[in-house]
Amino acid sequence: MEPIDISFPSSNINPDGQLQVPESYNQGERLPGIDVLHPGGGIKEQTAGIYASQLSMQGFITLAFDRRSQGTSEGTPRHLEDPFAGAEDTKSAVTYLTTLDKVNPKRIGVLGICAGSIAKETHDALIVQPGENGTKVARGGEVKYLPYIPPDMIHEDNVKALMKEAADLLLDLSRIP
């Protein structure tokens, strides 16, 4: 089946994408979906489109799209690789797939290729992991956080001195022209 040109809202822009539905699709089915993220400097018709096509032949509904400022998608400056904007576009692409009757909203994945994997990891770090962590905490689970001081140093006598030394070093480095 030929790719279907689509666009979807993401913040204040509309990224362009290509949706691929397996030729074997039967009306009323809800198939798993995969957002396929292109490499840095790439566009949906290149690597991501090839992966999307192959995955579609394996029974997945796929969406390859141009992140903002890339390819035919809106956004300036052109060709900017912004991992945070890429994460937002990835979230919006997943949301778009959940609106399709052909897609099982509980079976959506993201495949990032090259710089697309950075967008996927940023998406997970900003959206998925905090949501999962927040749900666990709300259910009485342990709070997950990253301490400033490595756990194996917390009980050492010189922690305050090390923190002061680190702050002083930062202040000194900021004065270097």
- Residue-wise pLDDT for 100-114, tens only, equals 999 999 999 999 888
Can you say how many angstroms the Cα of residue 132 is from the centroid of all Cα atoms in its chain? 15
Q: In what order do the strands lie in the sheet with 31-37?
A: 4-7, 16-20, 61-65, 31-37, 103-112
Residue (of 70, 64, 61) closest to 47 by Cα position: 64
**Which domains, from first to last, does the chain contain?**
4-138 (3.40.50.1820), 146-177 (no CATH)
pLDDT-based confidence at 145, cuts 50/70/90?
low
Beta strands 16-20 and 4-7 are antiparallel
Distance (Å, rounded) from C-alpha 39 to C-alpha 69?
A: 14
Share the mean pLDDT of the chain. Answer: 86
pTM of the predicted structure, to 2 decimals: 0.70
